[in-house]
Amino acid sequence: MAAHADLIEFYRSYGESSFEVDEPAYAEVCHHLGDYPGLVELIAAHDPDAQQPNLLFAAVHYLILGGAEHPLADVYAGRSNAAPAPLFADFVQSHRNEVNELLRTQRTQTNEVGRSAVLALMLQDAQRRTGLPLAWIDLGASGGLNLNVDQFRIEYRHDGQVTSTGPGDATVSLECNVRSGQPPLDDKHADIAWRVGVDRAPIDVTDDQRARWLKACLWPSKQERHERIDAAIEVARSHRPVLIEADAVAGVEAAIGHAPTDVALVMTTTWVWYYLPPETRAGVVSVLRQSERPVLWYSLEGRGVVEPLGESAGRDVIDSMIGVVVYDGAASTDAEVLGMAHPHGAWLDWY
């Protein structure tokens, strides 16, 4: 395995930082990857983008959600305490053709509905800053579930108090623990006059197989995440999100061109900027700078990922930075760190 030492170490490190707390089964697979040469060889045979741990785990989860019979399914469902690493390796070897096909054709699209707890605050902050209704572009929208944020009920818990935002009869309900600070809470969502998602491969949630891929990208042990994505998919089937299928640069440029002019222009990214290559990031920023009107870019990304925020990179991916960068012509850029949050919106610290 010396030839693949870097890949094995990448999985080990990723497992510690990303899965150790929230998905121990995935962490164990990452830790013991080097014990299974066949699994390592299968991963290494793919392009670097397809070697990402989250994609491999999603491919296996997708097959299990589709009814593949294997003892690993009992581990994922919480019916078995068997060690997951050997079962995972066996599953991949026994379903290698299907796994290889998914690694070749799919990409991770974690349409995490819990992030709406942070998105709602971003949008409220934007309305407070501008005093205007919003034209909202969500870059990396996947299936567009979070574009329906104003259909969701969100409870923010702070010092024993609860502030609820959104309709009381919502079928999607989220909770967020405000550990510190005073975020701009309101009982109503921001006024979103226009909205659109941009994704290079948007998912049509009316297609059951594509919706299954969204669910496969979630971690199996987090039942509450699966329940809320099921509810959010039903909302999206009733309130169909508008999605632009394009790469990030062309999609953002097209969205800005179609946005109404009498509202504030907002772009959001939640754990998508991290995955964009440097040239794509530069292209999106160039589009924002060249906009004929101000654009407020709100981000929920790992520490140090959004360079204008000026923070150094952090190893712990659980710490996700909430930030805003305001572009008002090529020479004017304001950037501010607003807080830190769990990447799935479970908690936040507001600065």
160-189 confidence digits (pLDDT tens): 899 999 999 999 999 999 999 999 888 999
pLDDT of residue 32: 96
pLDDT of residue 329: 78
Q: Which two tokens stand for residue 173?
A: 């309900």
pLDDT in tens, 256-287: 999 999 999 999 999 999 889 999 999 999 99
Please report which confidence band the pLDDT of residue 333 belongs to, taking 50, 70 and 90 as the band edges.
Answer: confident
Q: Give strand pairing partners of 192.
A: 134
pTM score above 0.85: yes
Give dist(CA 233, CA 142) in Å, integer. Answer: 12
- Report whether 23 contacts 174 (CB < 8 A): no
Mean pLDDT computed over 238-242 = 95
pLDDT of residue 2: 52
Cα 183 to its chain centre, rounded Å, is: 21
> What is the longest distance spanned by two Cα atoms in the chain?
60
**Lowest-pLDDT range, 18-22, 32-36, 53-57?**
18-22
Pairing of the two strands 243-245 and 264-270: unpaired
- Report whether 54 contacts 110 (CB < 8 A): yes
pLDDT above 90: residue 316? no
Task: Catalogue the E-assigned strands of the chain.
Answer: 134-139, 153-158, 161-165, 173-180, 192-199, 243-245, 264-270, 295-302, 320-327, 333-341, 347-350
CA trace torsion 195, 156, 182, 151 (10° rounding): 20
Mean pLDDT computed over 335-342 = 95
pLDDT above 70: residue 313? no
Angle CA(76)–CA(80)–CA(83) in degrees, nearest 5? 80
Please report which confidence band the pLDDT of residue 75 belongs to, taking 50, 70 and 90 as the band edges.
Answer: very high
Q: Give strand pairing partners of 327.
A: 295, 333
Cα 242 to its chain centre, rounded Å, is: 18
**Lowest-pLDDT range, 56-70, 107-121, 308-322?**
308-322
Does CATH number 3.40.50 belong to domain 113-203+220-350?
Answer: yes
For 10, 42, 107, 148, 190, the CA distances from 140, given in Å and listed in that order, are 25, 28, 12, 15, 21
Please report which confidence band the pLDDT of residue 21 belongs to, taking 50, 70 and 90 as the band edges.
Answer: confident
